[in-house]
Amino acid sequence: FAEMEAGAGIGLYPLHRCKNIYLVRHAQGIHNVDGDKNYKAYMSHDYFDAELTQLGWQQVDNLRKHVRSSGLHKKIELVISSPLMRTMQTAVGVFGGDGYTDMSDVLPLMVANAGNSNRAAISSSNCPPIITEESCREHLVCHFSLLHTWVCIHAIREEASATISFFSLQLTFHWQIESDEDILWKADVRETIEELAARGKKFLNWLWTRKEKEIAIVTHSGFLFHTLNALQNECHPDVKKEICSHFANCELRSMVIVDRSMLGSDVSVTDYPGKIPKYLPSDAVVEDNNIKG
């Protein structure tokens, strides 16, 4: 009882105020190879929008097999990716469709050999929608902006959402572009850990505006680590370690997020009110039968 009173024991929460999320760190990018040896290499402009390595693509294949063998591919209703190449390639490679052919009536999610990947085209059929969301991008540093992304999108459309070809990937960029500048990025200021964690919380709150209950998010190590660290205060110490340890490349963790602040407005589709049917009194039924007789 003491554990339960302290919030460390078993608890209950309405199912319709929960979502299952599947957090994925992108597979190995070319920046990880040098960055794991010398952290300063991550500051190189050459690695800002790094593509996956061949090992990274092997990691994608392994996770794709797991997603299918575990049945997750049948449950996930939406895939959200950071708008950087390594996350988009991972999202498409893991969750994209099978068996694309040039005779298909739909565009591929990724064309053959995109980004010198030496990979076959990936189909957009029989897979969940894949969208990009800028608020789950990596830790913002003063060296690099997403300006080239903005320019690419502005050249194609003016609306808040569209499906476009971006680095040979067909993805939906849903965010509202308010200017020709990267409004999250500051040229001379590095995003603080507190700002990153706040951005992560805002992203999770945004998930409650989505109708989907089973969502995969493909993002970055720093974003995951600092966001999860900001949310683990009420957990048992062992659960904190499980939640907040750094993600390996292409690691997937399944978690549940709970709407404690009542942000969501959905009602349960599985609950039943249990109302008792209204029957006539027994004497009225007898009297009615006598009349009919």
Kindly list the catalytic residues: 26, 138
Residue type, 217: I
Dihedrals phi, psi of 193, to nearest 5 degrees: -60, -40
CA angle (116, 121, 126) in 5-degree steps: 145
CB of 239 within 8 A of CB of 216? no
> b/e for 5-38, b at 16 or more Cβ within 10 A?
eeeeeeeeeeeebebbbbbbbbbbbbbbebbeee
Cα Rg of the chain, angstroms: 24
Q: In whole angstroms, what is the distance from residue 26 CA to residue 261 CA?
A: 30
